[in-house]
Chains A and B, each alone.
Chain A
Amino acid sequence: MISRASFVLLLALALSALPAAAQQGVSDTEIVIGGSNSFSGPLAFTGDQITKFGVDLYFRVVNDAGGIHGRKVRTVYYDDGYRPQDAVANTKKLVEQDRVFAIIIPQGSPPVVATLDYLEENKVPMLFPYQSSPVTRGKRWVLQGMTLSDRSSKMMIDYLAGQRKIKRFAALYQDDEYGKSFLTAFEKDLARFGLKLAAAESVKRGVTDVSAQVAKLQAAKPEVTFLVLVPGPGAQALKERQKIGWTDTIMVSTGPLTDERYLALAGDAAEGVEGLSLWPDPVTSDLPGVKLYREHMLRYHPNNEVNRYSIAGYFAAMLFTEGAKRAGRNLTRESLMTALESIKGYASGILPPITIGPDHETQKQGFWVRVEKGHFKPMTDWLKSE
C-alpha cells in the first residue's frame, strides 16, 4: 500500500516536472491542438463539419506536405453536446491531460463563455471560436473567428438604410445571447440613421413553430424583416410567410444563418430572400482558395458535401498554420500569439486580405446575397464594418 502511494506520488512529481522543459503540446515532431465541440445535440452537424471535415482536412494537407517546420499537427476533440459543464470538463482535460498547445474553433456561445476565464487564466490560446457574440472581445488569449454580431449589424444597416434607403425594419430573433447581441446592435446602428425597429419578436431556442411571431411582425408592416435564427426555425419563418401570403417585406438572414442548410430546408419559400454572407459560396465560387478547398475535400472526403461549416474550419486551420509558420521553429504560446497578431493583408484566397490587429478579430467582412433559383447570388462586393 505504502509503496503504491509513493509510486503515485513519484509519478505525479515526474509529470509536474515535465512541462518546464518545453512548450506544452509542442514536441520535436508534433503539435497537439484540440477543442471541445458539439458532436451530439442541436449543433452536432456543424460540429462534425467544422472539425473533422474542416480543421482536420487542412491539417491533413499540411501534414502530407511535411508539416509546420517539420512538426505534424495532431488534433484531439471531445464532445460537449452544447452543454457548458461538459465543455468545461473537456477543456480542462484537453489542457491538463492531453496537454494541448491551443484550443481551436470551439462552438456555441454557452460552451465558449464557460471556458473563457479558465483559458485566459492558464494562458492557453483560444483560437477562432465559432460563435458571434462579442463576449470574446478584449481577451489577451482569444482570437475571434466568426464575424461578431455588431460588425455584421453595421454592414447590414449601412447597406440597407444607407445605400438602399429602407426605413422600416423588424426582427425575428432567437431568445439567447446570439439573438440578443444582434438585436442590441441593430438598435444602435438604426439610431445612427434616426430609425428604430418597428417590431421585434423572439423565438425560444429549440422551438420550431413561429407562426404567431410571423403574424405579429406582418401587422407592423416592415419593409425589411431580419431573421436572427438557426436554420430550422429560420426556414420555418420563410414557409410561414409564404403560407400567409405576406409578400411586401424582404426577409434578410444574418451571417450565421445564411447557409445551404437553411436554404435547403426552406425550399421554394426561400426565393427572393436576401442576407449577409460571411463566406463565398463554397459550391460555386471561383476564388482560388475555395477551389483548392473543394479539391482537397474531393481528395480526402469524396462523399462529404462542401459547405460553409467545413470551410470555416478549414480556414481556421489555415490561419493557425500561417501563425505557427511565422512563429518559427521555436513555437510557444506567446510566439504564436505575437505571430498571429502580426498578420497583415494575408491572402487566403477565400476571404479578402486578413489583417489581425490588436482587436484580435480575424473576420470583419461580409457581402450581400439574394436567393435566386435556390442559390445565393452575390449582390455586392465585400462590405466594410470599420
Chain B
Amino acid sequence: MRHAALATGAAVVVGWPWAAPRYFVFLASLIAINAIVAIGLNLLSGYTNQLSFGHAGFLAIGAYAAAILTIRAPALPVPAALLLAGLVTAAVGLALGVPCLRLEGLYLAMATLAFGFVVVEAILNLDWLTRGNDGLRVPAARLGPWTLATDTARYYLVVTVAALLIVAAVNITRTRTGRALLAIRESEIAAQASGINLAAYKTLAFVVSAFYTGVAGGLFALVVGFLSPDSFDVFLSVDFVAMIIVGGLGSILGSVVGAALITTLNDSLAGFQNYRPLIFGAILIASMLFMPGGIARALGTIVRPARAAAPPEPPRQGEDR
C-alpha cells in the first residue's frame, strides 16, 4: 500500500513535465523549492518548537550565495554551488542559533523577524557584491556538459534535490536526533532531565534548518533567474510559517502538502492580492481551529480513524505523520 503510493507519486513527479503544460512545470519547481524550505522550517519549529519568522532571510542568503558563485565561478557544477550555498547559510544559522538559545516563544519570533530585516539591509549595503536594489541576474547553471536552460531541466534538478533532502529529513526524524528534538518540543525540562543537551540540539536544529533553506535559496536563484532584496520580504517568511501550520507541524509529508497548497493558492490569487491577507488569515485560523495537526494529521484521521481517536500524542519513533 505504502510502496504503491510512493511509486505512483514518483511516477507522477518524473512524468510531470511531459504531461503538464509548461507553466505548471515552473510552478511545480516553485512548490518543490518551498517544500524544502517548509521541511527545514518544520525541523526547527514543528519538531523543536523554535518559532522562526526569518526564513526569508535564510532563503536570501542561499539564493545570493548560489547566484554569486555561479557568476564568479561559472565552471563550478550546480551541485557544488548548491552545497556551498547551503553551507554558507548553515554557518549563518549557527551564528544566529547560538545567541537565540536563551530566547523562547514570542521573543525568539521577534529575534528571527529582525534577522529577516537585517539580511535585506545587508544585501542593500553590500551592493559591490549583491548589486543592491538593482538586483542580480542569475545566469543559467551548468551541470557537466549541459546548461540548465529550460523549465524542464531546472524542474528535474529541483525535484532531485528535494527528493534527497526529503529522504534525509525522514531519516533525521527517525534517529536519536529526531527523538531528541521532539523531546525538546514536548518539554525542555523533561528533555534535559533525560540527558538531552538542550543547547547542542537547539543549535543543531537551527543549522540544519538554515542548510535546507539555503539549498532551497540556491534553487530559487536558478529557477527564478533574478534576485533583488524586494524578493525576500517578511511576508515570504510568514508564507513559510503558514505552509507548516496548514500542512502539519512536526510532519515531513505535511510540509510538502502545505508548501504545495500555499504556493498554488498564492499563484491563483495573483490577480487580486489585496484579498490575499484576508484569505490567508482565514485559512490559518480555520486550520488551527478545525485541524490543529494540519492537513497531515487530518489525512491520518481519515486513513486511520482508530488511532487518531486517541488523544493527541507526540509522534513516536519511526512514525512520520
A117 within 8 A of B: yes
B228 within 8 A of A: yes
The tally of CB-CB contacts under 8 A between chains A and B is: 100
Q: Which of B18, B124, B231 contacts A83 (CB 8 A)?
A: B231
B267 within 8 A of A: yes
Docked complex Cα distance between A130 and B92 (Å): 38
Do residues A110 and B23 form an inter-chain contact, with CB atoms below 8 A?
A: no
Interface mask (A1-30 → B, CB under 8 Å = 1, otherwise 0) = 100010011001001100000000000000
Docked complex Cα distance between A178 and B137 (Å): 17
Do residues B272 and A117 form an inter-chain contact, with CB atoms below 8 A?
A: no
B21 within 8 A of A: yes
A299 within 8 A of B: no
Do residues B274 and A84 form an inter-chain contact, with CB atoms below 8 A?
A: no
Residues in B neighbouring A93, C-beta threshold 8 A: 23, 267, 270
- Which of B64-72, B219-227, B248-256 lines the interface with chain A? B219-227
Interface mask (A71-113 → B, CB under 8 Å = 1, otherwise 0) = 0000011111111111011101100110000000000011001
Do residues A12 and B18 form an inter-chain contact, with CB atoms below 8 A?
A: yes
Residues in B neighbouring A79, C-beta threshold 8 A: 270-274
Do residues A9 and B134 form an inter-chain contact, with CB atoms below 8 A?
A: no
Check A113/B30 contact, CB under 8 A, given A9-B18, A84-B226, A85-B224. no
Shortest Cβ distance from A126 into chain B, in angstroms?
Answer: 15
A53 within 8 A of B: no
Docked complex Cα distance between A34 and B135 (Å): 24
A114 within 8 A of B: yes
Do residues A78 and B270 form an inter-chain contact, with CB atoms below 8 A?
A: yes
A271 within 8 A of B: no
Q: Which of B15, B19, B224 contacts A114 (CB 8 A)?
A: B224
B22 within 8 A of A: yes
Docked complex Cα distance between A176 and B230 (Å): 12
Docked complex Cα distance between A125 and B8 (Å): 41
Residues in A neighbouring B231, C-beta threshold 8 A: 83-85
Shortest Cβ distance from A232 into chain B, in angstroms?
Answer: 16
Check A83/B230 contact, CB under 8 A, given A110-B135, A176-B132. yes
B26 within 8 A of A: yes
Shortest Cβ distance from B216 into chain A, in angstroms?
Answer: 13
B186 within 8 A of A: no
Docked complex Cα distance between A8 and B15 (Å): 11
Do residues B124 and A204 form an inter-chain contact, with CB atoms below 8 A?
A: yes
Do residues A9 and B19 form an inter-chain contact, with CB atoms below 8 A?
A: yes
**A118 and chain B: residue at smallest CB distance:** B225
Do residues A96 and B21 form an inter-chain contact, with CB atoms below 8 A?
A: yes
Do residues A175 and B132 form an inter-chain contact, with CB atoms below 8 A?
A: yes
Residues in A neighbouring B15, C-beta threshold 8 A: 5
Check A88/B228 contact, CB under 8 A, given A15-B21, A93-B270, A176-B134. no
Docked complex Cα distance between A175 and B226 (Å): 19
Do residues A88 and B224 form an inter-chain contact, with CB atoms below 8 A?
A: yes
A40 within 8 A of B: yes
Q: Which of B8, B224, B228, B273 contacts A39 (CB 8 A)?
A: B273
Docked complex Cα distance between A130 and B19 (Å): 37
Docked complex Cα distance between A8 and B20 (Å): 7
**B16 and chain A: residue at smallest CB distance:** A8
Do residues A110 and B228 form an inter-chain contact, with CB atoms below 8 A?
A: yes
B188 within 8 A of A: no
Do residues B273 and A92 form an inter-chain contact, with CB atoms below 8 A?
A: no
Check A12/B8 contact, CB under 8 A, given A118-B225, A205-B133. no
Docked complex Cα distance between A118 and B15 (Å): 24
Docked complex Cα distance between A252 and B8 (Å): 65
Do residues B20 and A88 form an inter-chain contact, with CB atoms below 8 A?
A: no
Shortest Cβ distance from B129 into chain A, in angstroms?
Answer: 15
Do residues A109 and B134 form an inter-chain contact, with CB atoms below 8 A?
A: yes
Docked complex Cα distance between A77 and B271 (Å): 6
A201 within 8 A of B: no
Residues in B neighbouring A117, C-beta threshold 8 A: 137, 225
Within 8 A of A (CB), among B1-39: 8, 15, 18-23, 26-27, 30
Docked complex Cα distance between A205 and B134 (Å): 11
Do residues A97 and B135 form an inter-chain contact, with CB atoms below 8 A?
A: no
Q: Besides A85-B224, A97-B21, A175-B132, 18 other CB < 8 A contacts?
A: A40-B273, A40-B274, A77-B271, A79-B271, A83-B228, A83-B230, A84-B226, A84-B228, A86-B270, A88-B225, A89-B270, A97-B23, A114-B225, A175-B124, A176-B132, A176-B134, A177-B134, A177-B135
Task: Name 12 A/B residue pairs within 8 A (Cβ), A-sorted.
Answer: A12-B18, A39-B274, A79-B272, A84-B226, A89-B26, A89-B270, A97-B21, A110-B134, A110-B230, A175-B133, A177-B134, A177-B135
6 nearest A-B pairs in the assembled complex, by CB-CB distance: A176-B133, A114-B226, A96-B23, A78-B270, A79-B273, A177-B134
**Chain B residues with a Cβ under 8 A of chain A:** 8, 15, 18-23, 26-27, 30, 124, 127, 132-135, 137, 220, 224-228, 230-231, 233, 267, 270-274, 276
